[in-house]
Amino acid sequence: MSIVYYLDFPCDVKEQVKPGRMLRLMYARERANEAMNRARKKDPDVKPEDVRVELSLKGEDRTSQIKVTNAADVQKQYSELEALSHHCRDCRARIEPGSFGCRGKIDFPLSLKAEALLLGRIRDSHGDPTGSMMCNYFESNGITGNRAAEMRKLPEVWFEGDKPLVRRLDDGRRISSNQVFEMFFLTGQISSKHARFLLGMFDLFEGALPLEAPLHSLPNLFVIEREESGMPVSRVGLRLAEKPDDDRSTRQVQNFLGGLLFASEYGCDLWVKV
């Protein structure tokens, strides 16, 4: 299971395959690959048409339904999308490596390191009002963290930790990683303006990066550069740097935050689904 996010950035692929179908095809291919890998451990010569694949899909009434197919049929349908993969080569919205990288995912269970990364970005010292402002935002918008708390009742399914991390603020209030998770991942759609708000509240936006420095020399995990007449005129980045001990979950969350930066800079929505 995973959090799936998608940058709604217009491109040649989406003109030929609607975004909803693109996401369904990618999901089906992943499930088929998983099924094939399991089957080959038992029988290295197994044929795709003999490998059963179960897909959880939403019906017209929006309830989840199970569709049973086989890996060969999934591969055949995916070929429609695969034929368009060359359009992705130089796409600026490619947050994830590889084709169709405007769609990314964060695998469950979410690690404690990934939760700590997000909670640790909240400033609340030396009179900084950010923490109090965030508490006010949570209270005004009913972000209690209760949905994430319910998810934690299934040990090591959704979260590595059975309890949320908590920040105690100078004014006595608390912010939990349950609330932060709900704000980032349980809202469904993040507009470009809201993406910019989140980047600011979590001290993740870094503007006016130096133009004279080579891009590879900048410590920022993600940098967006704008050019005029072939020359860079502005650079903004994600105020995060890679660490040697980052686990997979943390790296996937960092990619998601890169998606927020892209959405805020290019005026597109970021869709999120658990």
Q: Is the dihedral of CA 119, 124, 130, 134 positive or negative?
A: positive
Q: Is 159 in a helix, a strand, or coil?
A: strand
| Distance of alpha carbon 166 from alpha carbon 213, whole angstroms | 38
pLDDT of residue 98: 83
What are the residue boundaries of the structural domains of the chain, listed by start?
2-106, 107-273
Q: What are phi and psi of 147, to 5 degrees?
A: -65, -40
Entry pTM:
0.86
Q: Say how many C-beta atoms besides its own lie within 10 A of residue 192's C-beta.
A: 18
Starting at the edge strand found earlier in the chain, the sheet holding 223-228 runs 205-206, 231-238, 223-228
pLDDT of residue 82: 93
Whether residue 239 contacts residue 204, with contact meaning beta carbons closer than 8 Å, is answered with: yes
Beta strands 270-273; 166-168: pairing state: unpaired
pLDDT of residue 61: 64
Region class of 142: left (phi > 0), else alpha (psi between -120 and 50), else beta? left
**For the chain, which ranges sit under pLDDT 50?**
none
Q: What are phi and psi of 201, to 5 degrees?
A: -65, -30
Q: What are phi and psi of 158, to 5 degrees?
A: -100, -35
Q: What is the pLDDT of residues 127-139, one digit of tens each?
A: 788 889 999 999 9
Question: In angstroms, what CA-CA distances link 165 with 2, 135, 147, 161, 201?
Answer: 21, 15, 15, 9, 18
